[in-house]
């Protein structure tokens, strides 16, 4: 590295180069789903402004995707400063668009002016067809650059307007070429529900399918159609309120049973999967309405503080906010950061729910009691150490770092290889719901051990005691955790330990496997540093794929670190890669063909099967390097 650092070393990226150099800053690079969403969002913005009532999405069998609407059509006249067509400006210039001011759009999801230009930047080819002012226009791009200026192709009726964009994703920017069709359909359905009167059509050429969504009803119908659980009230509480700069709609009811809770939020019809200020404001309004209702009836026990999670954790709700100048945390717009609508949302929500509670007093009191009971359970779990299910049994293992929560379906027990890794895991965990039990060395091969003598092994005994389930039990009703996660090193020794633990559960704790409670955590074996970005790879094959993609993207300066074990990771790395829900990778231990599974494990682990094992290794051992085992 040169010691001299001068002005000529400063690189200025122009046009679409910033997107191509750092695609992860602008879109989700796992699949091309977000590129399709950007185009759908643009068409929906036309619908929100009252200029579009049909959107046509197509998955083509050549790997391309197209979105067509009957909106006003992109501007085809020349831009006064750039001296190129408005279409070309929108598709080639970052931070260009008609949504920075309210002149062309009132409410819009596209705010940064980078959405459709990102699609162009990350596509091998893109074509845009526009119907506007009595003519059809077309322009084509290759790797983000126009192949020719905008061409006028045909004369059409003036009332025929709209935009059609078709793109072929450049696969060097994405981990997978295929899209998640289920997520795409859910997105399209949500747009239709949240924008009554807007018809959206999806055609899949590869599967030869045609689906259409058009809803005249609103959120309350959507909520009841998606929930099969018992809920209160039977008909959701619904709110629809408008201001000059803001529109709010929401619907809510409460589930009697914990499972099946649906909580969705949208801003200008864009899914905000990570919530944001609109969701927290809504929850605050719900809480304030119930607190006022409960206080007026002296329902809250002395010194009990009810919080917004108590009031909404078991609620099913959908929030749709339309606002001006919405600010999101990042280009993927998964979380709203704007606070300008907070007072409006809090006051509107509180007013609507308060009015409903006082009109339905009996049902309101039932809901209030439900929320108070939930708050009391939360307080008990925070103040009281976790108790064993079986009080007559032995004391919990001394090295078990237990969690605080007593809600079984939320708790997790990690069986961690080694005291060193166990120490890191204890610092990395969320102690509210995650417990850590370090295991010393390789666990006993229990495949041929009788259940009656199994507890002679200290490690197995500690596992059974922590779980609250005896080996060989026919049922496991007393299990103390919702998930049991095996966590060992990512190398071959760690995989051996994971195999021994999987065999233990399949042979001696089978009810836990059948209940879907056993998981294997997948920590990374490699860390790849590319500038300021950090990428983790599960194994050699994934590392090679990542390095290959970086090379294709001309990002060859990558530093690769191989983790020798979990203990080498600091707590922050362990949390980010392996413990934090939403970021970690967990494999559920399942046995769909139990006889075949047991036969394979018997061949691998039984002492009497040494000759069979040798024969199998001679035939299959070479496949390890090819990752085909």
Residue located via tokens 């859910």: 186
493 is known as an active-site residue = yes
Helix 277-296 × helix 361-383 angle, to 10°: 110
What is the Cα–Cα distance from 342 to 354, expressed in whole angstroms?
18
41 is known as an active-site residue = no
Q: Give the three-state DSSP class for 142.
A: strand
Phi/psi of residue 338, each to 5°?
-60, 140
> Which of 144, 155, 110 has the alpha carbon at shortest distance from 21?
144
What is the Cα–Cα distance from 435 to 425, expressed in whole angstroms?
9
What is the Cα–Cα distance from 375 to 383, expressed in whole angstroms?
12
Beta strands in 110-230 (DSSP E): 123-132, 135-142, 145-146, 151-155, 162-169, 199-204, 209-213
Residue of 175, 450, 493, 540 marked catalytic: 493
Q: What are residue 56's DSSP bridge partners? A: 68, 201
What is the Cα–Cα distance from 264 to 186, expressed in whole angstroms?
12
Using the CB atoms, write b or e for 166-190: b if 16+ within 10 Å.
bbbbbebbbeeeebeeeebeebbbb
Residue of 249, 402, 489, 542 marked catalytic: 489
Centroid of chain to Cα 513? 25
Contacts of 386 (CB under 8 A, 6+ apart): 402, 403, 404, 405, 406, 480
491 is known as an active-site residue = yes
* Contact call for residues 448 and 607 (beta carbons, < 8 A): yes
Which two tokens mark 6? 């001068």
Residue of 407, 491, 514, 568 marked catalytic: 491
264 is known as an active-site residue = no
Phi/psi of residue 443, each to 5°?
-70, 155
Residue of 247, 249, 264, 417 marked catalytic: 417
Residue located via tokens 């009990």: 304
* Beta pairing class for 483-487 and 412-417: parallel
* Contact call for residues 225 and 219 (beta carbons, < 8 A): no
**Residues labelled catalytic:** 417, 489, 491, 493
């Amino acid at each position: 590295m040169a010691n001299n650092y001068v002005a000529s070393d400063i690189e200025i990226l122009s046009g679409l180069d910033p997107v191509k150099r750092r695609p992860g800053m602008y879109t989700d690079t796992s699949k091309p789903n977000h590129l399709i969403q950007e185009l759908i969002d643009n068409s929906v913005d036309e619908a929100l402004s009252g200029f579009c009532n049909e959107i046509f999405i197509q998955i083509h069998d050549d790997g391309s995707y197209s979105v067509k609407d009957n909106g006003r059509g992109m501007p085809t006249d020349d831009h006064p400063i750039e001296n190129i067509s408005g279409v070309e400006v929108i598709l080639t210039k970052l931070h260009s668009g008609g949504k920075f001011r309210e002149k062309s759009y009132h409410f819009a999801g596209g705010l940064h002016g980078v959405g459709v230009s990102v699609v162009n930047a990350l596509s091998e080819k893109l074509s845009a067809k526009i119907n506007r002012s009595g003519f059809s226009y077309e322009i084509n791009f290759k790797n983000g650059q126009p192949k020719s200026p905008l061409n006028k192709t045909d004369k059409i009726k003036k009332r025929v307007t709209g935009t059609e964009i078709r793109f072929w994703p450049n696969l060097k920017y994405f981990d997978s070429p295929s899209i998640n069709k289920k997520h795409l359909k859910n997105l399209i359905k949500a747009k239709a529900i949240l924008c009554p009167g807007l018809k959206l059509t999806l055609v899949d050429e590869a599967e030869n399918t045609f689906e259409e969504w058009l809803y005249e009803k609103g959120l309350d119908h959507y909520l009841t159609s998606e929930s099969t659980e018992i809920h209160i009230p039977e008909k959701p509480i619904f709110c629809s309120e408008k201001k000059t700069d803001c529109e709010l709609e929401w619907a809510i009811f409460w589930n009697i049973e914990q499972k099946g809770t649906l909580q969705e939020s949208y801003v200008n019809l864009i899914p905000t999967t990570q919530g944001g200020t609109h969701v927290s404001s809504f929850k605050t309004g719900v809480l304030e309405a119930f607190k006022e209702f409960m206080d007026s009836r002296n329902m809250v026990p002395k010194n009990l503080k009810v919080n917004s999670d108590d009031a909404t954790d078991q609620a099913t709700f959908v929030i749709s906010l339309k606002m001006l100048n919405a600010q999101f945390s990042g280009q993927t717009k998964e979380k709203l950061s704007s606070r300008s609508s907070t007072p409006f949302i809090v006051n509107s929500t509180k007013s609507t729910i308060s009015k409903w509670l006082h009109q339905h007093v009996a049902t309101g009191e039932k809901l209030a009691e439900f929320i108070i009971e939930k708050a009391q359970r939360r307080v008990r779990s925070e103040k009281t150490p976790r108790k064993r299910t079986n009080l007559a049994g032995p004391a919990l293992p001394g090295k078990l770092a237990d969690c605080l929560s007593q809600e079984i379906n939320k708790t997790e027990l990690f069986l961690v290889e080694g005291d060193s890794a166990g120490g890191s895991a204890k610092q990395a965990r969320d102690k509210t719901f995650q417990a850590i039990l370090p295991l010393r060395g390789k666990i006993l091969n229990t495949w041929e051990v009788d259940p009656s003598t199994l507890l002679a092994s200290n490690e197995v005994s500690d596992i059974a005691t922590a779980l609250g389930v005896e080996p060989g039990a026919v049922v496991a009703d007393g299990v103390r955790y919702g998930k049991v996660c095996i966590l060992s090193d990512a190398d071959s020794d760690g995989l051996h330990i994971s195999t021994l633990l999987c065999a233990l559960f399949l042979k001696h704790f089978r009810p836990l496997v059948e209940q879907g409670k056993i998981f294997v955590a997948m920590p990374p074996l490699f860390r790849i540093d590319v500038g300021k970005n950090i990428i983790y790879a599960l194994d050699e094959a994934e590392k090679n794929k990542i390095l290959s993609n970086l090379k294709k993207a001309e990002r060859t300066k990558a530093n690769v670190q191989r983790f020798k074990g979990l203990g080498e990771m600091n707590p922050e790395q362990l949390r980010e890669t392996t413990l934090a829900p939403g970021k970690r990778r967990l494999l559920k231990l399942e046995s769909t063909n139990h006889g075949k599974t047991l036969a394979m494990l018997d061949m691998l682990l039984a002492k009497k099967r040494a000759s069979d094992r040798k024969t199998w290794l001679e035939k299959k051992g070479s496949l390890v390097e090819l990752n085909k085992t």
